[in-house]
Amino acid sequence: MNLFYREFGTGQPVIIIHGLLGMSDIWIPVAKKIAEKYKVIVPDLRNHGNSPHSSVFNLNELTNDIIELYHKMGFTSAILMGHSLGGRIAISAALKCPDLFDKIIILDIAPRQYSGNKSITNLIHVMNRIDLSSKRSMSEIDDLLACFITDLRVRQLLLKNIFKSSQGEYMWKVNLKIITEKIETLMAPVFENTEYLKPALFLKGGLSDFIEPDDYRLIYKYFPAAEIEVIPKAGHWLHADEPDLVLDKVQSFINS
């Protein structure tokens, strides 16, 4: 899979992986800060952003895409960071190929089985209900989204997923059909028959339930050297809720 990616800075590589319905440009401010000392690569996952669409969509293939990008870039080592689905991909890649990655940073996700996440399934349900082709402006689309989604930041995430075709119709950038059909394949537990013994940082949103107390044992089982830190006033999108604190934690860990 020939993933689209953005590249910043020089030095040791840091790969940042966005979450479900996200895209690389959401991470540009963070990438530019980290790129003051490092080479930062921010890809769009398959079926997201500017990367190709595919009917093959599961955690294993998404992991292989990142490992393939690593080798295409000619890296011999890298630091891997991911949020939500991106964190699950980073966990999977680190356990599958531990020798490739010097450190990993996981934002608000655990290796366990997830199912029936209402926040994500509700978003996808809303996206499927909206006929973008009949809309004449982004403001009209936003007004309609506001009937279902009160959180402005979540609406902005969805609006970033919309583009205007050459025929003048608004369309979803993400492969909504495949994501809708195969979302449960992304929720499987991320287990390999190995441990990742190198440094690992797990950041949990204090207002989020994506990492539960019972998950700590599972994290330490597969990542014995892990540090788990809580960002008290942040939800699942902790890098949006507490950007300065999250960036400080990430940079301190990378630089250590």
CATH code for the domain in which residue 77 is found: 3.40.50.1820
Which pLDDT score, from 0 to 100, does residue 58 have? Answer: 95
The answer, yes or no, to whether residue 81 has pLDDT greater than 70, is yes
117 pLDDT tier (thresholds 50, 70, 90): low
How far apart, in whole angstroms, are the C-alpha atoms of residue 91 and residue 126? Answer: 29
Looking at the structure, do residues 22 and 81 belong to the same domain, yes or no?
yes
Which pLDDT score, from 0 to 100, does residue 210 have? Answer: 94
Enter the pTM of the model.
Answer: 0.95
CB-based contacts of 193, cutoff 8 Å, min separation 6? none
The answer, yes or no, to whether residue 110 has pLDDT greater than 70, is yes
Looking at the structure, do residues 95 and 141 belong to the same domain, yes or no?
no
Which pLDDT score, from 0 to 100, does residue 116 have? Answer: 62
Domain boundary among 155, 182, 209: 182
Strand 170-172 relative to strand 162-164, pairing? antiparallel
Looking at the structure, do residues 96 and 167 belong to the same domain, yes or no?
no
The answer, yes or no, to whether residue 142 has pLDDT greater than 90, is yes
Looking at the structure, do residues 47 and 159 belong to the same domain, yes or no?
no
Looking at the structure, do residues 86 and 178 belong to the same domain, yes or no?
no
Lowest-confidence pick of 124-138, 144-158, 180-194? 180-194
- Residues 99-111: what's their mean pLDDT? 97
At position 181, the amino acid (one-letter code) is E
Domain boundary among 163, 182, 201: 182
Looking at the structure, do residues 85 and 211 belong to the same domain, yes or no?
yes
Query: Which string of b and e fits 127-148 if b means at least 16 CB within 10 Å?
Result: beebebeebeeeeebbebbeeb
Lowest-confidence pick of 6-10, 60-64, 146-150, 170-174? 146-150
**Residue 12 structure tokens:** 């040791």
145 pLDDT tier (thresholds 50, 70, 90): very high
- Residues 243-250: what's their mean pLDDT? 97
Looking at the structure, do residues 194 and 221 belong to the same domain, yes or no?
yes
Phi/psi at 233 (5° precision): -95, 15
Domain boundary among 165, 182, 199: 182
Into how many domains does the chain fold?
Answer: 2
Which pLDDT score, from 0 to 100, does residue 187 have? Answer: 85
| H or E element in which residue 180 lies | helix 176-182
- Residues 167-196: what's their mean pLDDT? 90
Q: Residue 163 CB: number of other CB atoms within 10 A?
A: 12
Looking at the structure, do residues 14 and 136 belong to the same domain, yes or no?
no
Looking at the structure, do residues 170 and 206 belong to the same domain, yes or no?
no
Looking at the structure, do residues 21 and 106 belong to the same domain, yes or no?
yes
Looking at the structure, do residues 152 and 218 belong to the same domain, yes or no?
no
Range of the domain at 129: 118-182
Looking at the structure, do residues 48 and 13 belong to the same domain, yes or no?
yes
Lowest-confidence pick of 17-26, 82-91, 111-120, 214-223? 111-120
CB-based contacts of 50, cutoff 8 Å, min separation 6? 4, 23, 24, 44, 173
Under DSSP, the state recorded for 53 is: P
